[in-house]
């Protein structure tokens, strides 16, 4: 018997795809556009149930959703289940097409036992894409080991409304920073060869970080130009530069057109303009929302037709609108089978490129080799260290002396393993009774750092969201009997709001019934940005003792803390540092690591200041309120150090730039302090006059550098004329001649060196363009 072409390794992928497609029935094709969850095919012990599998996958299946993350299986058991699923598909379906298995992986593989790295907002604070790539390289190893082929990350939404609960999942407010980190994320996850890599999924396409009222899924009201320049830019960069192979649609609508049903967005822009060649996967249950919430489809079948025609290839996490409904839609003439073929063709091609038809099984006995290794925990600690931002250090209170006699550690986040993890970790998602991963709390990290000779006293003081002040007295006494207080407050991330909402509990009753235990995370949108519960009252009570206080913030979204900023001498923003949180925070507090993180967002003074991002138009940034100005409490790119740096010797390779050329911008940075440290050198550009109103400044390059005391380094940015492009009056991406300012600083506000150059020549339309500056350090 002649072996079919699609089963032969020596045949080109496109030929294998067409051969397989030609052999498939309509039902088998449509099956490749659907997904099943583990509960649909596994028994209670986590093994494949043949009867359930036969019912859920009679014609095969496109993807299996979260075998580990949605089942609670630990790595070895998840690998065994993956093998069982693939064996069933290979032997019990007609054509033996393997499934593509996907998992969440925002801050690490979201499964029991997966290493927990800092949440994305913290990784954005590192301003180090190379670190992001190293992290996702390790995530890839764990995912591949359990048989996973696609990760539903990264989030490359540009965060513009901090009431939105998912701000923590983003890399911040700036499109250049988001694009840089997202591109690095994809490079690490996909690797150099997809046959050993994991496909990365850019999400949520597009504009999800600017929802109306800060409410998840709410409409997004952006002009076409702002949508493309600010919110689509990170997708374009990651697709062009890192060859991202998967994109997930957003839940919301833009100008009344839901993203899940927008052909303009998912086909014309994504494939036509951005050059995307991979698959589009649905955000969970988003296709049915075309019928239930957007009210643009009269039933689920019409919703499925609308989504597939728009360019949405795969329905996740289960089949509701595709499957039999899509088969009937084809037979009834509501959609062409050619549309089905195109989507199946893209999915099959990806499966072949991943090597699923050639080497599908994994080795469960070897899984432990790549889970929670010493190297991975060391990387988690390094990433946490580099994510920490020092916001205030009055009179050099930090770093603390390790021989301090009595130290009080107070606050609801001081000894909590859950609060240091982002919303898309397994423990935050599921909230199990016991941790599934070893997590170091801040209290534990401090105790380990100072040793037994230092008396460390602990008091919780209050809870994150509760109104009880019963613990205040203990906390105050603890502070009074100590030499210094480390007060650990902030937020906690999870999905209790989403879960309760699915159970039908009204939003009004959430807090009153104590059902929402976390103020941050998906579906935890808020009308304020203050500390929840009585936390600020606790801070004031401890401050009233007169003892020196260091506030450590553990939180997922920017918090409005004007009183703390005014009255507390030292403030550390640690975001959601992950499993090595306590050790990393202690490293910073006691000076074993000199903080060098920078804010990836502008922190407002009050929620009413929003939007407060640094790269607004002048008419926005220069207008004030009757009670305050428009400046944030802390600006984008801000972060202090235990040492000082001087910027000097700004040089431009030319004062004139032809439209097709580039310019080199260099400066010298010197460590003028007594400690080694890191500085993030930030390059901003300002377009003086243009045919459209332009932002007052835009980030166009950055580099985190390490300097010993007295050491100097020269940082060189190669800025391409393409990077000056914007969408002109004619709707095309253009570079206009004119004068531009160069601004180099340590934040968007702290600019130390400036100069100008002039772009000459006729207007240039930029198509295949450069997205990032090239940076060298000497």
- Alpha-carbon span 169 to 612, nearest angstrom: 19
Which residue's structure tokens are 């920078």? 598
- Alpha-carbon span 314 to 332, nearest angstrom: 21
Written as one string, the DSSP assignment of 115-143 is: --PPPHHHHHHHT-HHHHHHHHHHHHHHH
Tally of CA atoms within 13 A in the half-sphere of 231 that contains its CB = 24
Tally of CA atoms within 13 A in the half-sphere of 448 that contains its CB = 15
Tally of CA atoms within 13 A in the half-sphere of 612 that contains its CB = 28
Q: Of these residues, 174, 283, 427, 687, which one is catalytic?
A: 283
Which residue's structure tokens are 């690591």? 593
Torsion, CA 299, CA 300, CA 303, CA 304, rounded to 10 = -150
At residue 716's C-alpha, the angle toward residues 715 and 719, to 5°, is 140
Write phi, then psi, for 363 (nearest 5 degrees).
-110, 95
Structure tokens belonging to residue 97: 């097409």
> 474-480 long-range contacts, Cβ below 8 Å, gap at least 24?
475/410, 475/538, 475/541, 475/542, 476/541, 476/542, 476/544, 476/545, 478/408, 478/410, 479/408, 479/410, 479/542, 479/545, 479/547, 479/549, 480/545, 480/547
Residue 334: CB partners within 8 Å, gap ≥ 6? 301, 302, 305
Write phi, then psi, for 623 (nearest 5 degrees).
-100, 140
* Residue 379 and residue 95 in contact, taking contact as beta carbons nearer than 8 Å: no
Which residue's structure tokens are 């094709």? 29
Question: How far does CA 431 lie from the centroid of its chain?
Answer: 21
Question: How far does CA 93 lie from the centroid of its chain?
Answer: 37
Q: Map residue 733 onto helix, strand or coil.
A: strand
- Alpha-carbon span 52 to 40, nearest angstrom: 6
At residue 26's C-alpha, the angle toward residues 20 and 29, to 5°, is 50
Does 649 participate in catalysis according to the annotation? Answer: no
Torsion, CA 176, CA 178, CA 183, CA 188, rounded to 10 = 140
* Residue 643 and residue 671 in contact, taking contact as beta carbons nearer than 8 Å: yes
Which residue's structure tokens are 């995530």? 139
- Buried residues in 47-73 as b, exposed as e (16+ CB within 10 A): ebbeeebeebbebbbbbbbbbbbbbbb
DSSP code of residue 322: S
Q: In angstroms, how far is the first alpha carbon of the chain from the final one?
A: 64
Q: Rg for the chain (alpha carbons), in Å?
A: 26
- Buried residues in 617-628 as b, exposed as e (16+ CB within 10 A): eeeebeeeeeee
- Alpha-carbon span 559 to 599, nearest angstrom: 12
Q: Is it true that the peptide bond before 522 is cis, omega within 30 degrees of 0?
A: no
Q: Map residue 205 onto helix, strand or coil.
A: strand
Helix or strand holding residue 479 (H, E): helix 472-480
* Residue 161 and residue 211 in contact, taking contact as beta carbons nearer than 8 Å: yes
Task: Check the CA dihedral 160-165-167-169 and report its sign.
Answer: negative
Among 76, 78, 91, residue whose Cα is nearest residue 42: 78
Residue 712: CB partners within 8 Å, gap ≥ 6? 668, 669, 670, 671
Which residue's structure tokens are 């939007």? 611
Structure tokens belonging to residue 675: 């400690």
> Residue 690, Cβ neighbours under 10 Å: how many?
15
The residues that are catalytic are 283
């Amino acid at each position: 018997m002649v072996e079919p072409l699609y089963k032969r390794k020596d045949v080109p992928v496109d030929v294998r795809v067409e051969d397989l497609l030609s052999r498939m029935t309509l039902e088998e094709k449509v099956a490749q556009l659907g997904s099943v969850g583990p509960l649909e095919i596994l028994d209670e012990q986590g093994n494949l149930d043949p009867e359930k599998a036969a019912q859920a996958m009679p014609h095969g299946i496109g993807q299996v959703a979260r075998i580990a993350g949605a089942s609670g299986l630990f790595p070895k058991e998840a690998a065994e289940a993956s093998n069982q699923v693939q064996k069933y598909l290979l032997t019990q379906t007609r054509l033996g097409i393997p499934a593509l298995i996907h998992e969440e992986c925002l801050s690490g593989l979201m499964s029991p036992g997966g290493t927990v790295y800092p949440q994305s907002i913290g990784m954005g604070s590192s301003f180090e894409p190379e670190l992001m790539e190293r992290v996702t390289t390790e995530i890839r190893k764990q995912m591949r080991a359990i048989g996973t082929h696609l990760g539903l990350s990264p989030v490359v939404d540009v965060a513009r409304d901090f009431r939105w609960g998912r701000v923590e999942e983003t890399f911040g407010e700036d499109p250049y920073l988001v694009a840089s980190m997202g591109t690095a994320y994809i490079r690490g996850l996909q690797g150099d060869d997809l046959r050993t890599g994991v496909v990365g999924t850019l999400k949520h396409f597009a504009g999800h970080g600017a929802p109306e009222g800060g409410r998840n899924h709410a409409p997004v009201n952006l002009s076409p130009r702002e949508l493309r320049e600010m919110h689509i830019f990170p997708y374009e960069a990651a697709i062009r530069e890192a060859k991202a192979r998967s994109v997930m649609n957003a839940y919301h609508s833009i100008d009344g057109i839901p993203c899940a049903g927008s052909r303009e967005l998912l086909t014309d822009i994504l494939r036509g303009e951005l050059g995307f060649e991979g698959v589009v996967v649905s955000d969970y249950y988003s296709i049915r929302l075309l019928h239930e919430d957007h009210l643009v489809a009269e039933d689920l079948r019409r919703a499925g037709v609308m989504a597939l025609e728009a360019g949405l290839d795969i329905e996740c996490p289960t089949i509701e609108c595709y499957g039999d409904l899509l088969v009937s839609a084809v037979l009834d003439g509501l959609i062409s089978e050619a549309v089905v073929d195109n989507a199946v063709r893209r999915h099959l091609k990806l499966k072949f490129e991943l090597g699923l038809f050639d080497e599908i099984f994994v080795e469960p006995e070897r899984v432990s080799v790549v889970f929670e290794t010493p190297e991975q925990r060391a990387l988690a600690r390094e990433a946490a260290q580099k994510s920490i931002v020092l916001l205030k250090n009055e009179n050099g209170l930090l770093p603390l002396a390790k021989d301090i006699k009595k130290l009080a550690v107070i606050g609801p986040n001081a000894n909590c393993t859950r609060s240091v993890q982002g919303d898309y970790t397994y423990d935050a998602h599921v909230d199990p009774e016991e941790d599934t991963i070893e997590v170091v709390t801040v209290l534990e990290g401090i105790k380990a750092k100072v040793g037994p000779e230092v008396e460390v006293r602990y008091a919780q003081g209050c809870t994150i969201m509760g109104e009880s002040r019963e613990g205040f007295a203990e906390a105050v006494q603890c502070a009074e009997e100590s030499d210094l207080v480390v007060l650990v407050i902030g937020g906690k991330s999870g999905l209790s709001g989403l879960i309760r909402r699915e159970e039908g509990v009204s939003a009004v009753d959430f807090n009153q019934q104590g059902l929402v235990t976390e103020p941050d995370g998906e579906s935890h949108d808020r009308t304020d940005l203050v500390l929840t519960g009585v936390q600020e009252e606790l801070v004031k009570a401890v401050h009233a003792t007169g003892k020196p206080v260091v506030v450590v913030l553990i939180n997922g979204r920017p918090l409005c803390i004007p009183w703390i900023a005014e009255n507390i001498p030292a403030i550390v923003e640690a975001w959601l540092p992950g499993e090595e949180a306590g050790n990393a925070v202690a490293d910073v507090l006691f000076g074993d690591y000199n903080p060098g993180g920078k804010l990836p967002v502008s922190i407002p003074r009050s929620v009413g200041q929003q939007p407060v991002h640094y790269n607004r138009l002048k008419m926005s940034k220069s207008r004030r309120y009757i009670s305050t100005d428009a400046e944030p409490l802390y600006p984008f790119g801000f972060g202090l150090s235990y040492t000082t740096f001087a910027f000097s010797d700004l040089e431009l390779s030319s004062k004139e730039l032809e439209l097709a050329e580039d310019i080199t911008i260099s400066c010298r940075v010197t460590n003028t302090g007594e400690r080694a440290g890191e500085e993030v050198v930030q390059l901003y550009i300002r377009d003086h006059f243009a045919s459209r109103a332009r932002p007052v400044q835009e980030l166009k390059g950055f580099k985190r550098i390490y300097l010993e005391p007295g050491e100097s380094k020269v940082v060189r940015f190669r800025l391409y004329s393409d990077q000056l492009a914007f969408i002109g009056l004619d709707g095309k991406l253009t570079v206009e001649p004119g004068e531009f300012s160069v601004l180099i600083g340590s934040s968007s506000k702290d600019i130390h060196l400036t100069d100008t150059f002039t772009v000459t020549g006729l207007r240039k339309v930029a198509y295949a363009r450069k997205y990032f500056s090239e940076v060298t350090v000497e």
